[in-house]
């Protein structure tokens, strides 16, 4: 079947998915448990409604191609008729100056004819034969484009959940620290070492962190629901993910020296295919000046009798074989206008190609600029986390010894949490911008 004839890029994607498929503990129709990114993408490529539609579109296209090419095969038809003459025709016959009126035919007549037609020269069928491979390529490219978009969308959703999960873990750790600080401040107040403002500040910070935890948990529910919709997963089924934060950090780097090649972009190749199809259409309009030629053969049986009961007792067979030539002579200026129109459409597609190249270049420049900026932000955020941890640990020791105030401790704790969350946000932005660069380059693969 045509749906199994993938282009080279799709084959590459499938080969990249094989390890994930072999490791998967679940199959279609069962819940995904501890799913990795490759397993999610593989599931999406099989189950996402848009992917299924793309594959169906391929098969529909193949049927349309076969339907158009079927005109080259013999076209066999059968025709039958029955006539009862309510009033038979009369014809005059003059002989020797006398006219005699003769009744023609019989009251009942019937016939059966079987005919086969074979096209030998036909402009429309020539066009269908030349354009078939380009239409197949067009359907393949549409599926490839949908596959690339699916990989990018699922990957970004996965990274987004990863970031939110890590944020939730940071908030949980922060709550644990704040609870201890609250208990310590309360104990110091109870023995009269500090006033009540310390533990009240701790109580406020603790309440805010618990509210952040609740908000993050609720948003995570939506993000899981969104991921399910992306991969074509039933909303009522459980979905758990497997995360490897260190692996994600190792995969953030990208070769920024790779040269942009327009041929790698599906959108560019789609336009090239459209241009080739339009050129074939122009040639088709030129072929409209060409005559069409077809052959035919038929065989028929004729039945005639005045009595219906005797009509089919005797037949009078006949057969004809021949050629049919049709020469277009003048049809106004329609064919000339269609040729000019098709040539203008070719020029329009050329301009689309030029515009798409400019758009691809601008997308690449924007994606690369965002990636480089996010890479720098990520490095700075990583350093800030380390510094914030050192500052917090130092001030915590000083606070325990009574050197620093509780306000200093809260300020350092807030700075640490902010640095940790900023780091996660920059990590997600960096991974997303890396995907954008790869999509702009046309080099999207499973191993992001």
70-99 residue pLDDT tens: 999 999 999 999 999 888 888 888 887 788
Classify residue 180: in a domain, yes or no.
yes
Q: Which residues pair with 117 in a beta bridge?
A: 75, 296
* 238 CB-near residues (< 8 Å, 6+ apart): 31, 33
Same domain, 320 and 399: no
- Asked if pLDDT for residue 16 goes beyond 50, the answer is no
Per-residue pLDDT tens for 364-385? 999 999 999 999 999 999 999 9
pLDDT value, residue 89: 84
- Would 447 be classed as within a structural domain? no
Answer yes or no: do 87 and 220 share one domain.
Answer: no
Of 361, 177, 172, 179, nearest to 264 by C-alpha is 361
* Residue 106 and residue 7 share a domain: no
Higher pLDDT, 5 or 249: 249
Residues 175 and 244 in one domain: yes
Note whether residue 418 is domain-resident: yes
**Mean pLDDT, rounded, of the chain:** 86
Tokens of 379: 């490095």
pTM score, two decimals?
0.80
Share of the chain above pLDDT 90, in %: 58
Q: Which CATH number fits the domain that encloses residue 198?
A: 1.20.1600.10
Q: What's residue 447's pLDDT?
A: 53
Position 86 scores a pLDDT of 87
Burial status of residue 316 (CB atoms within 10 A of its CB: 0-12, 13-18, 19 or more): exposed
| Same-domain status, 154 and 239 | yes
Range of lowest pLDDT (9-18, 134-143, 321-330, 392-401):
9-18
* 417, 319: one domain: no
Residue 285: inside a domain = yes
319 and 197 within one domain: no
Question: Residues 195, 317: one domain?
Answer: no
Residue 232: which domain range? 2-73+122-290+328-441
Task: For residues 255 and 203, state if they share a domain.
Answer: yes
The backbone torsions φ and ψ at residue 88, rounded to the nearest 5 degrees and listed phi first, read: -70, 150
In a domain, 448, yes or no: no
- Give pLDDT tens digits for 161-209: 988 998 999 899 888 888 887 787 777 777 766 667 777 887 888 898 8
C-alpha angle with apex 410: 406 to 415, nearest 5 degrees?
Answer: 150
Domain assignment present for 25: yes
* DSSP label at residue 28: T
Residue 425 lies in a domain: yes
Indicate whether 256 belongs to any domain. Answer: yes
Give the bridge partners for 431, in sequence order: none
CA distance between the termini of the chain? 31
Whether residues 237 and 97 share a domain: the answer is: no
Query: Residue 137: is its pLDDT beyond 70?
Result: yes
Q: State whether 27 and 162 are in the same domain.
A: yes
Task: Give the count of domains, the chain.
Answer: 2
Residue 13 pLDDT more than 70? no
Residues 220 and 86 in one domain: no
Both tokens of 10, joined, read: 């799709």
Q: Is the dihedral of CA 31, 37, 42, 46 positive or negative?
A: positive
């Amino acid at each position: 079947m045509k749906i199994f004839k993938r282009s080279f890029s799709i084959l590459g994607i499938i080969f990249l998915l094989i390890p994930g498929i072999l490791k998967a503990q679940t199959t279609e129709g069962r819940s995904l448990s501890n799913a990795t990114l490759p397993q999610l993408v593989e599931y999406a490529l099989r189950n996402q409604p848009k992917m299924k539609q793309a594959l169906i579109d391929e098969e529909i296209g193949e049927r349309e191609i076969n339907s158009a090419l079927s005109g080259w095969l013999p076209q066999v038809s059968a025709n039958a008729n029955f006539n009862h003459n309510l009033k038979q025709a009369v014809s005059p016959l003059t002989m020797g100056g006398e006219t005699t009126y003769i009744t023609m035919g019989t009251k009942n007549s019937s016939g059966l004819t079987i005919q086969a037609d074979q096209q030998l020269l036909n402009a429309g069928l020539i066009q269908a034969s030349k354009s078939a491979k380009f239409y197949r390529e067009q359907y393949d490219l549409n599926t490839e484009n949908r596959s690339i978009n699916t990989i990018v969308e699922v990957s970004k959703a996965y990274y987004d959940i990863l970031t939110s999960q890590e944020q939730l873990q940071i908030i949980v750790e922060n709550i644990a620290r704040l609870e201890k600080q609250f208990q310590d401040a309360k104990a110091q107040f109870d023995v009269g070492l500090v006033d009540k403002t310390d533990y009240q500040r701790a109580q406020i910070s603790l309440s805010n962190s618990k509210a952040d935890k609740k908000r993050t948990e609720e948003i995570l529910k939506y993000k899981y629901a969104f991921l399910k919709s992306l991969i074509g997963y039933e909303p009522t089924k459980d979905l758990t993910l497997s995360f490897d934060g260190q692996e994600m950090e190792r995969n953030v780097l990208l070769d920024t020296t790779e040269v942009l090649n327009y041929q790698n972009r599906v959108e560019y190749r789609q336009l090239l295919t459209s241009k080739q199809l339009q050129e074939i259409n122009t040639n088709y309009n030129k072929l409209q000046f060409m005559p069409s030629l077809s052959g035919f053969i038929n065989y028929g049986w004729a039945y005639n009798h005045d009595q219906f009961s005797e009509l089919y007792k005797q037949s009078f067979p006949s057969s004809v074989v021949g050629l049919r030539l049709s020469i277009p002579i003048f049809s106004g200026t329609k064919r000339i206008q269609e040729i000019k129109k098709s040539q203008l459409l070719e020029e329009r597609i050329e301009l689309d190609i030029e515009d798409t190249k400019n758009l691809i270049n601008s997308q690449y420049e924007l994606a690369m600029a965002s990636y480089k900026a996010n890479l720098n932000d990520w490095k700075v955020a990583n350093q800030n986390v380390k510094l914030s941890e050192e500052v917090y640990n130092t001030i915590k020791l000083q606070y325990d010894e009574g050197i620093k105030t509780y306000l200093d401790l809260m300020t350092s704790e807030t700075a640490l949490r902010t640095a940790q969350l900023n780091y996660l946000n920059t990590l997600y932005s960096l991974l997303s911008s890396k995907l954008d660069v790869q999509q702009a380059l046309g080099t999207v693969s499973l191993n992001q």
